[in-house]
């Protein structure tokens, strides 16, 4: 079985062993831990996350609830969101069934944690992390379940040591699940977070996986937890190093320009965004990933040899570790 077939293998034969309470307990606790870690970095004089608890209204195509924790105008984070949600619907949306047409018409339950953090300092990278589980059912058919997720780094002014730390932490987290696991999921991340219309990577990668059910529920859940638990260790030390770096309008202007690429990817290519919008999800929570200030310019390129040009060198995929 090749890598793609392994990643997208059909669900295991027997009843789905997912315990929704077990999943919910982990995901909701992960959200709480990540919010606490981000607030600790903000410090006593920094910002705090606002918890927005929500529940889908009667008559909505989705049923479910969640909590979106948002910070805006913090000492470190200009904008950030750390969200937990658990939703169910009568039919999987097109973004899911286009890749797996055999699942068309199945009802589903999905839950997980999604995070995007946009620091104000341009020398601090943006980061994204998501871990999730999904169960699709249909009468007189075996349930189908899978996990997905990953994390990736989007710097504006890249530091090689920071990028190496991020990738090394990802590799360490996945090492218990096979010697080839990190290499497979790093490659998948490089291919996924790519703006096809620009022929350009969004950032410097990380790890990404989807449709994960190979090896059984316990292994897949453990792998998903390993990724979620590794995020704070992979990312927050980079902010501790760079948050006091002086910057000016030039750096902020370039940051706003590159944030435009982030917006383009999320609205045009991101599966999670498309899944949420197509399934009738809560728009405010889905679009929390967008940065507060963005700029676009026509056919702009950085000057050769400039600090801004170094980013485009770093965007080329490589083995950072």
Q: Which of 7, 128, 165, 182 is catalytic?
A: 128
The answer to whether 87 and 105 are in contact (CB under 8 A) is: no
Within 56-139, strands assigned E span: 62-72, 77-89, 107-119, 126-137
Task: Say how far apart CA 124 and CA 162 lie, in whole Å.
Answer: 10
The Cα angle at residue 47 between residues 45 and 52, in degrees rounded to 5? 150
Q: Is 128 a catalytic residue?
A: yes
Q: By CB neighbour count within 10 A (0-12 exposed, 13-18 middle, 19+ buried), where does 102 fall?
A: exposed
Query: For residue 88, which phi and psi values (nearest 5 degrees)?
Result: -140, 155
In order of 198, 241, 317, the CA distances from 201 in angstroms are 8, 25, 8
Pairing of strands 107-119, 126-137: antiparallel
Closest CA to 205 of 240, 170, 176, 178: 170
Closest CA to 320 of 193, 183, 202: 183
Task: Say how far apart CA 31 and CA 234 lie, in whole Å.
Answer: 16
- Three-state DSSP class for residue 287: helix
> What's the first-to-final CA gap in the chain, in angstroms?
27
- Three-state DSSP class for residue 294: coil
Q: Show which residues are catalytic.
A: 128
């Amino acid at each position: 079985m090749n890598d793609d077939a392994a990643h997208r293998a059909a669900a295991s034969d027997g009843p789905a062993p997912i315990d929704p309470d077990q999943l919910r307990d982990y995901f909701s606790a992960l959200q709480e831990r990540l919010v606490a870690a981000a607030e600790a970095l903000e410090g006593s004089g920094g910002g705090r996350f606002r918890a927005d608890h929500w529940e889908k209204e009667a008559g909505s195509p989705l049923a479910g609830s969640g909590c979106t924790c948002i910070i805006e105008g913090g000492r470190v984070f200009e904008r950030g969101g750390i969200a937990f949600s658990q939703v169910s619907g009568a039919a999987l949306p097109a973004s899911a069934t286009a890749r797996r047409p055999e699942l068309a018409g199945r009802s589903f339950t999905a839950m997980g944690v999604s995070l995007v953090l946009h620091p104000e300092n341009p020398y601090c990278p943006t980061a994204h992390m998501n871990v999730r589980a999904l169960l699709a059912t249909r009468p007189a058919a075996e349930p189908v379940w899978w996990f997905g997720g990953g994390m990736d780094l989007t710097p504006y002014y890249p530091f090689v040591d920071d990028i190496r730390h991020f990738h090394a932490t990802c590799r360490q987290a996945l090492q218990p699940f096979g010697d080839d696991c990190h290499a497979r999921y790093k490659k998948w991340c490089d291919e996924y977070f790519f703006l096809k219309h620009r022929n350009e990577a969004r950032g410097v990668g990380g790890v990404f996986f989807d449709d994960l059910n190979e090896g059984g529920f316990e292994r897949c859940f453990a792998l998903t937890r390993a990724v979620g638990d590794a995020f704070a260790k992979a990312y927050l030390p980079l902010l501790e190093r760079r948050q006091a770096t002086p910057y000016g309008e030039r750096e902020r202007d370039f940051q706003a320009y590159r944030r435009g690429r982030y917006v383009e990817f999320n609205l045009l290519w991101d599966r999670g965004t498309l899944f949420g919008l197509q399934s009738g999800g809560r728009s405010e929570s889905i679009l929390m990933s967008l940065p507060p200030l963005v700029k676009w310019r026509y056919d702009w390129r950085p000057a050769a040899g400039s600090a801004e040009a170094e980013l485009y060198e770093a965007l080329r995929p490589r083995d950072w570790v």
